[in-house]
Amino acid sequence: MRRQQTIAGPAVCAGIGVHSGSHVRMVLSPAPVDTGIVFVRTDVRGVVDNAIRAHADSVSETRNCTTLANKAGVEIATVEHLMSACAGLGVDNMIVEVDGPEVPILDGSSAPFVQVLLNAGLKEQHAPQRYIRILEAIEVRMGSKSAALLPSDAFEGLDLDVTIRFADAAIGVQRRTVQLSADTFLADIADARTFGFMSDVDAMRAAGLGRGASMDNTLVVDSGRVMNPEGLRFDDEFVRHKLLDAVGDLSLAGAPICGRFVADQPGHALNARLVRALLDTPEAWRWEHGEAEETLREVAPALVAAVG
C-alpha cells in the first residue's frame, strides 16, 4: 500500500450549500499522522466541542446526503464529495474548518475539491497507512437495494461494482465497475455530478432540502430528459456519481478498504448501513499495513495535468 498523506499547505474554497442554501467558506489545513479528516464548525460558539471526526461513528443522517455530528450535537452536512476526493487522492489527515452547516456543493462533483487538494500539494508522512482487508462477505439490504463488501484476491485496493435502476428513461439501468486508484478516480469518477428529479423539487423544498440546488451544481432530470443545457459529462454520469458517493461514504470506515464493493441501487443510507455492519463484524476483516512502491506525491504532477 503506501504511507499516510496530508496536504502540503492550507487551501481555501467557498460556495453554496446545496441543501441549506447558505454561503460557506472552507479552510483546509495539514494535520499530523493518525488525525484522520476532522471537520471544525468555526461558526459554532458556546459549546464544549465544535470538532467532528469523519467516521462512521459520527454519521447522524443519510437523507439526501451524509451528515456527521459530534456528541455535543454539532453537525456538518454533505461531506461525501469532499471525502470522496480525499479517498480518491489518498489524503488521510486534514483539518477542515467550515463556517456553516454544510460543505459547499461547488459544481456537484468531486472535481473542484480534487483541484483544491492538488493545488495545496500532497505531502507524504512518516507513518504507514493502515487499511481494512475484507476476509468474509458482509451484506446489507434495504428492500430491493443491496450492498456488500467481499474479499478480493485480484486487486489490492477497493474494487467497485455498482448498478442503478431508475424508471425514468434518461437514466434507466446503468452499471459500472472501477478498480479505485488515483488515476481511475480522476478519469472515471471525480467529474460525475449529483442529480435529482424535477418532480421532487417541491417536496424537497418543503422538507428544507435543496435550497441551494440549481443546474450549476445538479443534473436535473424531467420526464426522460436531462434539463441542463450542457448535457452530460459521461453517457453514464448517473452511475458514476453513485460510485463517487460510495467512495466517500465507505471512507468513513476510518481507513481504505481492500476488497470488493458490490451494490445494486446504493445510496447514503445503504452505504452507511454497510460500513456500520463492517465495523460491527470484526471477524470479517483485519487491519493491515503496507508500503507502496510509488507514492502519490511522485505521480501528483501527472494528476494535476489530468485535471487541467
Give the Å distances, CA to CA, from 88 to 49, 118, 157.
29, 12, 11
Q: How many residues would you count in the chain?
A: 308
Strand intervals (E) in the chain: 3-7, 11-16, 23-30, 37-41, 51-53, 59-61, 67-69, 75-76, 94-98, 122-128, 130-134, 138-142, 145-150, 158-165, 173-179, 195-197, 219-222, 225-226, 257-264, 285-289
pLDDT of residue 290: 66
Mean pLDDT split into 10-residue runs, the chain, 308 residues = 93 95 96 98 93 98 96 97 98 98 97 98 96 98 98 93 97 98 98 94 81 93 96 98 98 98 98 98 93 41 40
pLDDT of residue 211: 86
Could you give the CA distance from residue 52 to residue 63 in angstroms, rounded to a whole number? 19
Strands across the sheet with 59-61, in order? Answer: 59-61, 67-69, 75-76
Query: pTM score, two decimals?
Result: 0.92
Closest among 173, 114, 132 to 261, alpha carbons compared? 132
Q: Give the residue numbers marked as catalytic.
A: 268
Under 8 Å between Cβ of 296 and 122: yes
